[in-house]
Every structure is written in C-alpha cells, then in structure tokens.
Structure 1
Amino acid sequence: MASSVVMQSILASSKTPGVTGTRLSLIPAKYAFAPSMSRGACSLRIRCMAKDGQKKESSPASTIPTPQPKPKASTSFFDVLAFSGPAPERINGRLAMIGFVAAMAVEVSNGQDVFSQISNGGVPWFLGTSVLLTLASLVPLFKGVSVQSKSGGLMTSDAEMWNGRFAMLGLVALAFTEYLKGSALV
C-alpha cells in the first residue's frame, strides 16, 4: 500500500520529489530512477500533408472520429413490408418452417401427402397460422425493434434466415416429390 502511494506521487508530479543531487530524502533507492514527466510530454501532434503540399497540424481530439449514432429502424408500413425490408422474407421463412414441420408430422402420423392435407381442411389452419405469425412478427418491427438486436448465441438472425430458406426449399421439394410420386413421401 505504501509503495503504491509513493509510485503514484512520483508519476503524478512534474519532477521527482525529494531528489537533491544524488541523495534521496523521502524516496527509497529503488524508486530513484522514476521518469520525470513534464506537462507537455503527453500531448501529441499529428502532421499530415495536404493535397497542395502544405503541412497542416491538427490536435489529437480532432483526428479521432466520433461514433455516429445508429439510425433507428423505420417503422413505416411501406418500409417494413418493402421488398428489401425486414419483414417479407423473415415472415415467409417462419411460415415455411412451421409448414414444413406440420406437413411432415401429419404425413408421418396419418400418411397423407401435402395436397390431401390441404384439400382435407388444411386451408383454415394455414390461413389462421399465417395471420397469427404475420401479426406476431410485425408488432415488434412496428415498435422499432430490429431483429439483429435480439439475436445472440446460436439463435442469430442469419441462422433464422437460412433455416427459413431451407424450409421454403424443403416444402417445395416435398410437394414436388409427392406430386411426381403420386403418394406420400413417408
């Protein structure tokens, strides 16, 4: 503790206190060679060449870029549902993930293919699930919450996008294979 106080006082002062010639009055011998700092020793000048060949000087504070505030996500209906907006592909991917799992579960349990599932009362279930999932996906986006702010660990927004894309492809491939085969896949 005492050595910490001595070191702080040595480094904080402009000259080493207690040193008179080669004799030390208050500081032990092991601290005698502490660097002396002047007030201007910590300032830094940066020089650069301008385009016209003139030297210009700037202070360190002006060369450090200030962080720009992140723009808040737009909550406009047309921005959220735009072709490149945050909602369309994400909602379609979520619906495809649920649709693929549901189609495979019904196919394994009942032996019905996708087309017979749709014709035997699947349309109301599809519409109800679509409306519910779409509203649940749009509410946070209209409040200004971005999907990237809620992603972390394994459950990232990129992983959700890729899973949705694979589910869309899987659902189309399932329907196409069952159409060509003429019966359920499983």
Structure 2
Amino acid sequence: MAASSAMLQSCFAGSRIYSAALPSNALLSPKRVGRVTPVRCQAEEQRSQEPPVTVPTPKPKESTRFFDILAFSGPGPERINGRLAMIGFASAIAVELARGDDLAAQLMNGGLPWFAGTAALLSAASLVPLLKGVSAQSKSGGVMTADAELWNGRFAMLGIVALAFTEYLKGGPLV
C-alpha cells in the first residue's frame, strides 16, 4: 500500500521510484515514461459569510466656540430649551395645583423674574460643559440617555404650548 502510494505520488511529480512490487512505468502510459507531467493546483477563494470589517472613521471633534454651540444646528439650543421647558412645565403644573392660577396669572404675579432668573441660570449651567468640550452623549448611560433628554424636552415644550392653549380656550386654569 505504501509502495503504490509512493509510486502514484512520484508519477505526478515526474520522478521514478523503483520498487520490487511494481515496475517504474506500471502506472504510466508508454508515451509518458520519462517525461515530467506538470500538475497545477489552484485553490478556490473561500468567501466569508460575514460582511467585511470596516474601520469607522473618527468623527471630527465638535467645536467649542460659543457661536458654534449656539448655532441653529449646534448642540446647545434644543438641549437648553428642552431643559427649560421641562422645569417650566413641571413648575407651572405644580403652581396651578397649589394656588389655582393659570399660566398667564403665574407670569403676572411675580413669575416673570423667576422665569428670567431660572432661564439664565440653567442656560449658563448647560453651556459650561459644552464650552469645555464635554458632550451629553459621553455622559449618558442606562435609561438616562442624551436622546431621552431631548425627547423629554420636546414633549415638555409641546406640554407648555398645550397647557397655554387649553387655558386660553377654557378661559381659566386647567384644574
């Protein structure tokens, strides 16, 4: 068995092996004896089922310039307005439940200075991290994500508009 295997391999390689069991030209045709038979082997390329790995290109660092942060498409305006709307909506509902004043009465009875002071303080507190280059996405995790904050702010903005519109149509406080 080993001799026939060696004989077969030698025939493909073109060399002769002399064995007592088989003559040197037992597997070769008479024309091919003494010639080298070239053998070519070509492997097929194996295609992977997984998509090719692409290295993500790093995002350019966001600008920390004041006017870039407060630009229309910058990170500041929607985040600051959303935070102010969340505080404003919660406090408007709380004061309305406690005193029975509608939104317009709350602003007329000393609420305007409180609104301006709160807006200035929260705007400054929201701008400081952005000016230092810290993004909200880098600090978010779990349930409290940056996207959740934006959506809550959007709903609070709609809530304030709906509260004011409802009180206008009703002619008084919501509750």
Give the TM-score, by structure 1 length.
0.64
The answer on 1:175 being equivalent to 2:169 is no
Q: Distance in 2 between matches of 1:93 and 1:86?
A: 12
- SS in structure 2 of the partner of residue 185 of structure 1: coil
Residue 126 (structure 2) aligned to one of 133, 137, 141 = 137
Equivalent residue pairs, number: 125
Query: Corresponding residue for 2:153?
Result: 164
RMSD: 1.6
Deviations 1:66-104 (A, max 9, x none): 554442221011110010100001100000000000000
Task: Tell me by how many angstroms 1:166 deviates.
Answer: 0.4
Asked if the contact 1:75/1:144 (under 8 Å) is kept, the reply is: yes
Deviations 1:33-86 (A, max 9, x none): xxxxxxxxxxxxx9xxxxxxxxxxxxxxxx976554442221011110010100
Query: Corresponding residue for 2:86?
Result: 97
Q: Distance in 2 between matches of 1:127 and 1:157?
A: 25
Asked if the contact 1:113/1:183 (under 8 Å) is kept, the reply is: yes
Structure 1 counterpart of 2:87, one-letter code: I
Structure 1 or 2: more strand by fraction: 1
The answer on 1:114 being equivalent to 2:103 is yes
Query: Corresponding residue for 1:3?
Result: none
Q: Distance in 2 between matches of 1:65 and 1:162?
A: 31
Query: Corresponding residue for 1:154?
Result: 143
Structure 2 counterpart of 1:159, one-letter code: A
Q: Percent identity?
A: 71
Q: Distance in 2 between matches of 1:134 and 1:183?
A: 31
Larger Rg: 2
Residue 71 (structure 1) aligned to one of 21, 38, 60 = 60
Give the TM-score, by structure 2 length.
0.68
Q: Distance in 2 between matches of 1:175 and 1:152?
A: 34
Structure 2 counterpart of 1:157, one-letter code: A
